[in-house]
Amino acid sequence: MFPRTRVAPFLAKIDNQRLREIQKRYVDSTERYAKYADVERWLKINLPRVQNLKLDRSPPKQILDLGCGGGFFLFLAKQWGHGCVGLDVGDFPLSNELIDLFGIDRVTGRIRAHQPLPDLGQFDLITAFSAAFNRSEDESRGWNAEEWKFFLDDLDRHLKPGGILAVHISNRYLDLVPVVQQAARHLSLEVRQVENDDDDDAGVYRSDWMLLSASPAAFEGKLLKEAAERIDAVPRVRLWTDDYSDVYRILK
């Protein structure tokens, strides 16, 4: 339907006059998320996310994106007919404007420890990219294992049977595979890894993922079987918590 790696067709689908007007207002802004005004760059970062999950080749799915920000990922996913809902705090004016520009259906709410997500229906796929919602109320620490367990059990309620949780782990300096692998073990979830290489000519950046599911059958579909690899190695870190973490062991 669209060339696999170019964002021009997607840029052409938005109101470019309105986008330029937004960009003019944010060009010198020091607002926290002003970087998202560079819509072309963020579409280039989000296109591989869509492609790695084979959303450019799969039948329509229901997708929930946690901490969806400006809605880049959902905007692209929508182009292939997927049903998309975002959840975010709605505190950032630029993100709100982009959500509106992209025509994204977003629920405003804050993810908190030990609080279930609002009732948004059931999804085939729940994603979260760079969304640091896993902080304690006073922001002093990340969630502990028990808080993650509550969150993931609650997510399970929002996933259709065989649903998949996709964790984006691209990082230039850290190998987060064993960290997620150990968390999956602790939570008795199946885990697979997906890697997508750079394509400089096409302006596509490398992107790495881990997919988690309560059901091994979730990975049996043809597309995911091809793309998602089992990880046989024993994780080389203990369960990552506030009491235990060892960055040196996961340096690349």
Ligand X SMILES: C[S@@+](CC[C@H](N)C(=O)[O-])C[C@H]1O[C@@H](n2cnc3c(N)ncnc32)[C@H](O)[C@@H]1O
Which residues contribute to the site for ligand X (CB under 6 A)? 67-69, 72, 87-89, 92, 95, 110-111, 129-133
The C-alpha atoms of residue 239 and residue 54 are separated, in whole angstroms, by 30
* Cα-only R_g, the chain: 18
Q: Which is nearer to ligand X, 149 or 238 (CB)?
A: 149
Q: Which is nearer to ligand X, 54 or 106 (CB)?
A: 106
> What is the identity of the amino acid at 146?
E
> How many CA atoms are closer than 13 Å to the CA of 101, on its beta-carbon side?
28
| Least distance between ligand X and beta carbon 89 (Å) | 4
- The 3-class SS string of 234-250 reads CCCCCCCCCCCCCHHHH
Q: Which is nearer to ligand X, 48 or 69 (CB)?
A: 69
Q: Which is nearer to ligand X, 92 or 148 (CB)?
A: 92
Q: Which is nearer to ligand X, 117 or 250 (CB)?
A: 117
| Least distance between ligand X and beta carbon 36 (Å) | 7
| Least distance between ligand X and beta carbon 188 (Å) | 25
Q: Is 161 exposed, middle or buried (0-12, 13-18, 19+ CB in 10 A)?
A: exposed
| Least distance between ligand X and beta carbon 38 (Å) | 11
Q: Specify the residue for token string 């970087």.
A: 35
Q: Which is nearer to ligand X, 22 or 111 (CB)?
A: 111
| CB-nearest residue to ligand X | 69
| Least distance between ligand X and beta carbon 222 (Å) | 28
Nearest alpha carbon to residue 210 among 117, 152, 128: 128
| Least distance between ligand X and beta carbon 20 (Å) | 20
CA dihedral 169, 56, 60, 106 (to 10 degrees): 50
